[in-house]
Amino acid sequence: MVSLMILLSSFLISIKMNVCYEKNTPFECGFDPKGKGHLDFSVRYFLIALMFLIFDVEIAMLLPLLAIVMNSSHIIWVMSCFIFLLMLILGVFFEWLEGAFEWKV
């Protein structure tokens, strides 16, 4: 009974009583808009851009490996480069298997 009263009261409170045409129209130099107010956003493009940013940051993380070569032995440097590049390759391979690199749906 209490939940029904809360539901009913929230429905009654949320009803807009003052509807004004001028405030609900988009402002576009005094003219009515001819098309949609916004363009459709492609989720596919967003995913590709997100993957680019992730791999771009990972490539930027390769730069400190040049400083490591001066301060450590070559075996440690080669192993750290190999592990990091292996993770990058596995990430690209995983995205490829998931079909994220295909533009057609």
Strand, coil or helix: 32: coil
CATH for 2-98, options being 3.40.50, 1.20.58, 3.10.590, 3.30.160: 1.20.58
Structure confidence at residue 35 (pLDDT): 62
Residue 22 is predicted with a pLDDT of: 63
Ramachandran quadrant class, 20 (left: phi over 0; alpha: psi -120 to 50; beta: rest): beta
29: three-class secondary structure by DSSP: coil
Residue 1 pLDDT exceeds 80: yes
pLDDT digits (tens, 9 = 90+) for 30-47: 666 666 656 677 777 777
Quote the CA–CA distance of 14 and 8 in Å, as a whole number.
10
Determine the pLDDT at residue 4: 87
**pLDDT at residue 86 in the model:** 92
pLDDT of 75 higher than 70: yes
pLDDT category at 28 given cuts 50, 70, 90 is low
In the predicted model, what is the mean pLDDT of residues 44-64? 81
